[in-house]
Amino acid sequence: MRITKFVHSCLLIETATKTVLIDPGKYSWDSHLLTIGKIERLDYIVITHEHSDHYHLPFLQALINHFPHSTIVTNSDLAKKISSEEVRNKIISGSEAGMQVFEADHEPLPMGIRVPLNMGVHIDEQFTHPGDAVHLSHTRNILALPVSAPWISLKQSLEAVLVLKPSKVIPIHDWHWHKQAREEQYALAEQWLLPHGIKFVALQNAVPVEL
């Protein structure tokens, strides 16, 4: 499985049987790090919820213009909104072979802000992306973990990891960290998780890693 991060929560997952792009949000779009024309195939576009850092309509339109046969996987609320944009791609809210959709409550937001419907995916029994959730019932061996947000701290995220016990953790949802701060927090997470037998994989943007 090859995993490439394109800022924040956007991950390109390449396996022997499928290619999946998860959460193509505005931060990723604005970074210009992902060149759509360099992706040879795209079977699935997964959007966990409607927040702009995970779902950016211009990004989605650019993707589906290039990949008109890719399937969009998202929650039922956002599926209705995307359908209203006259998107011709197949849109599903359920699971398919090698692509297991599961309910994952978005972590509570401050100041009484409305919490959107959020979902996660397990890919090929190897990898889990939970959107904006850390308190899950279970995970696959590789977990994409939100580590920074107005609604979560690194401490809370790592405590959740010790309950879930994946073998590898990939940090996501970290756009809010300055580069130097991000590197420092990555180093701390790696140090803290190592004694528990969990490897923290500090992805660099647009640099693929084989896991």
Q: What is the pLDDT of residues 97-113, one digit of tens each?
A: 999 999 999 999 988 88
Average pLDDT score over residue span 65-69: 97
pLDDT at residue number 178: 87
Q: Give φ, ψ of 203 to 5 degrees.
A: -65, 145
User: Which residues constitute the domain of residue 130?
Assistant: 2-109+116-210
Q: Is the pLDDT of residue 24 over 90?
A: yes
Task: Tell me the CA end-to-end span of the chain in Å, nearest whole number.
Answer: 6
Within its chain, how far is the Cα of 4 from the centroid? 11
Average pLDDT score over residue span 91-95: 97
CB 145 within 8 Å of CB 170: yes
pLDDT at residue number 166: 98
Cα–Cα distance for residue pair 146/144, rounded to 1 Å: 7
Within its chain, how far is the Cα of 207 from the centroid? 16
Q: What is the DSSP string of 111-132?
A: GGPPPPP-EEEEETTTEEE-SS
Cα–Cα distance for residue pair 181/94, rounded to 1 Å: 38
Q: What is the pLDDT of residues 156-202, one digit of tens each?
A: 999 999 999 999 999 999 999 988 889 999 999 999 999 999 999 99
Structure tokens at 157: 């995220």
| Count of domains forming the chain | 1
Cα–Cα distance for residue pair 93/80, rounded to 1 Å: 10
pLDDT at residue number 202: 95
pLDDT at residue number 203: 94
pLDDT at residue number 86: 82
CB burial of residue 3 (10 Å; 0-12, 13-18, 19+): buried
Structure tokens at 130: 């939970």
Strand (E) or helix (H) holding 91: strand 91-92
Question: How far from 125 is each of 142, 143, 182, 201, 206, CA to CA, in Å?
Answer: 9, 11, 29, 19, 24
Contacts of 75 (CB under 8 A, 6+ apart): 48, 49, 93, 117, 118, 119
Q: What CATH number corresponds to the domain at position 170?
A: 3.60.15.10
Structure tokens at 63: 């993707």
Average pLDDT score over residue span 43-53: 97
Per the confidence metrics, is the pTM higher than 0.85?
yes
Q: Is the pLDDT of residue 130 over 90?
A: yes
pLDDT at residue number 38: 95
Percentage of the residues of the chain whose pLDDT score is greater than 70? 100
| Average pLDDT taken over every residue of the chain | 96
